[in-house]
Chain A
Amino acid sequence: MAIVAQETKFGRYVRPVLAWVIALIFFFPIFWLVLTSFKTDADAVKPEFLFFFTPTLDNYLNMTENYDYWRFASNSVVTSVLATALALFVGIPSAYAMAFNPTKRTKDVLMWMLSTKMLPAAAVLYPMTFLAKGLGIYDTHFIVILVLTLVNLPIVIWMLFTYFKEIPKDIIEAGQMDGVSTWGEIKEILIPLAWGGIASTALLCFIFCWNEAYWTVRLTTTDAATLSALIEGNRAPEGLFFGRLSAVSAAAVGPIVVLGWFCQKQLVQGLTFGAVK
């Protein structure tokens, strides 16, 4: 008799239920946030109105005047887009060099890059703040872009390195024989071949930039403050205005959740790439 894996009752009924329960637990904070954003500030703090209340759009309609939402949103977009672009601009040639011309030290360099992510950000808080203020770049787009690029660069290079390693070296060498320059190799061969990988890396980097709060809160006040800084900054004084705060929070995470939702496939592929050949 052939050996066939039998589907158990556990696999058939219990597992999906468990999966849904866990998913709902994870999703609940977001759900609660969105729900609260449709309540008045008074209703928001009353537990008895958790599900039953009169929905209002006021929190969203007044967002612009309450919080100057669009300024923060545009700061978020500008800094995240430019930081992602800069990270790729530096990361692609770096990963290319390490993937196709490795030396004995390449592994060490990669580990060193990753080790910078192990450093607690708080350890360099003072030097960074003093430097930014001393150089007169505190609360500018420039410092935000620079810091977002630097904190995400190790991840960007690691991801790109993994993708580039999958490209057969023969193809790059064929390019060399065919007379392309180094830049030509990157532009004509590497980028088109690793396009999917570069896109997932860019997407993930963009999400990390958008969500970054530690540095954006500490290196900005108003001019270059992003949405995460806005929420963080209003946490204490607006503690009583849960409805308003929820609306602006929902509007801050909304774009990235939507983006992530649409690009799920790319993201999952990006994160598990190279795990199974």
Chain B
Amino acid sequence: MGHIVLENVVKRFGETEVIPPLNLTIEEGEFAVFVGPSGCGKSTLLRLIAGLEDATDGKIIIDGEDVTEVSPSKRGLAMVFQSYALYPHMTVRKNIAFPMRMAGMPEDEQERRIEAAAKSLNLTDYLDRKPGQLSGGQRQRVAIGRAIVREPSAFLFDEPLSNLDAALRVGMRLEISEMHKRLKTTMIYVTHDQVEAMTMADRIVVLQAGVIEQVGSPLELYHEPQNVFVAGFIGSPKMNLIEGPLADEHGAKTIGIRPEHISIDTAPSPGAWEGTVGVTEHLGSDTFVHIHGVPGCDPMTVRAAGDVAVRHGDKVFLTPNADLIHKFDAAGQRMS
């Protein structure tokens, strides 16, 4: 269960077309992540699947059934919102029980599922508290608990970790990934954070202006970005995109090289790009060196070893790993 197909789905708000005809299939049991900059239509797409927005055109098919006109509650999906969207007037127990109560489930079964969900989410001690008495992370766990107990055919997550602090985000990211491994239920996860996308997804859908730029596994996107947008969006720090004479040498409009695929040296070597060190960011394990003066890309970022000995103003020479240079044509598409 949890096979979702979007066929030529279109969404317009008045005259504005936020999603032009779009086709996408999400396989059963898959962890799909929609990623893109804000305003790219990823949340709208998720809300279309949920049924919280009506599709202007096209079909949404879940497990072989056309649900385009079906209300959200009848689609068998569960959603976790960025704002948690807990019912503030109900205790944690009642929040989690709510969807089961609405479905008319017997009380002993409700109780059994609440206990199981609370145990797996470390909420047992908080069942009789109200959401207002919980921390952000606990609230998000309650929201996840409320989704789990329904045993939905797919989980929809709308930027669920954006309101949490950085440390908690990493922890929750792991918890959600583990939950997916355990439940093996289809999950669709919307985020603007490409680190979340890379670490969690089986498959990433990169969106820009309502258009799917590329669909693929995290490593496919990393190694073979299909266009300049995906190249620049996936990877941290961002890929260096170079235009001008250096790109011309490779017969491309734009070439891309990731910061980790450039070696830095203070001694000149043949074919190396010359530049001046700007800001260096020391992370301990790595150092991000920002280099000025390379034609067509200013600044260029290089990921160097943690103990690299360069200082602001030093003259350095950069050698890209020639095998890992990505080439893009004038339309921004990958050249084979």
A residues contacting B by CB (< 8 A) are 168, 170-171, 173-181, 184, 188-189, 192-193
Contact = CB atoms under 8 A, between A and B. Distances in A.
B167 interface: no
Contacts of B87: 171, 174-175, 189, 193
B88 A179 contact: no
26 contacts: A168-B83, A170-B81, A170-B83, A171-B86, A171-B87, A173-B52, A173-B81, A174-B85, A174-B86, A174-B87, A174-B146, A176-B51, A176-B71, A176-B72, A177-B50, A177-B52, A177-B72, A177-B78, A177-B79, A178-B73, A178-B98, A178-B99, A178-B102, A178-B146, A188-B98, A192-B89
Contacts of A192: 89
A108 B333 CA distance: 49
A195 to B, nearest CB: 8
Given A170-B83, A173-B81, A174-B81, A179 B89 contact: no
Interface of B: 50-52, 71-74, 77-79, 81-83, 85-89, 98-99, 102-103, 146, 150
A178 B150 CA distance: 8
A174 B88 CA distance: 12
A171 B78 CA distance: 14
Contacts of B73: 176-181
Contacts of B98: 178, 188
Contacts of B103: 179
A174 B144 CA distance: 12
A140 B52 CA distance: 47
A180 B71 CA distance: 10
Contacts of A173: 52, 72, 79, 81, 85
A113 B114 CA distance: 46
B105 to A, nearest CB: 11
The 9 A-B pairs with the shortest beta carbon distances in the complex, nearest first, are A170-B85, A174-B85, A178-B99, A179-B73, A179-B102, A192-B89, A176-B72, A177-B79, A170-B83
Given A173-B81, A177-B72, A178-B102, 13 more contacts: A170-B83, A171-B85, A171-B88, A173-B85, A175-B87, A177-B52, A177-B73, A177-B79, A179-B74, A179-B102, A179-B103, A180-B73, A184-B102
Contacts of A178: 73, 98-99, 102, 146, 150
A168 B163 CA distance: 16
B contacts with A: majority SS: loop
Contacts of B83: 168, 170
A248 B102 CA distance: 52
Contacts of B74: 179
Contacts of B102: 178-180, 184
A178 B87 CA distance: 11
Contacts of A168: 83, 85
A179 B51 CA distance: 12
A188 B99 CA distance: 12
Contacts of A180: 73, 102
A184 B102 CA distance: 9
Nearest to A176: B72
A200 B88 CA distance: 20
B286 to A, nearest CB: 38
A188 B86 CA distance: 13
Nearest to A172: B85
A177 B150 CA distance: 10
A178 B143 CA distance: 11
A176 B77 CA distance: 11
B60 to A, nearest CB: 15
B164 to A, nearest CB: 16
B88 A193 contact: yes
B185 to A, nearest CB: 15
Nearest to B88: A193
A189 to B, nearest CB: 6
Contacts of A170: 81-83, 85
Contacts of B82: 170
Contacts of A193: 87-89
Nearest to B102: A179
A173 B103 CA distance: 16
A174 B79 contact: yes
B275 to A, nearest CB: 48
A171 B86 CA distance: 6
Candidate in A176, A184, A192 with the most chain B CB atoms within 10 angstroms: A176
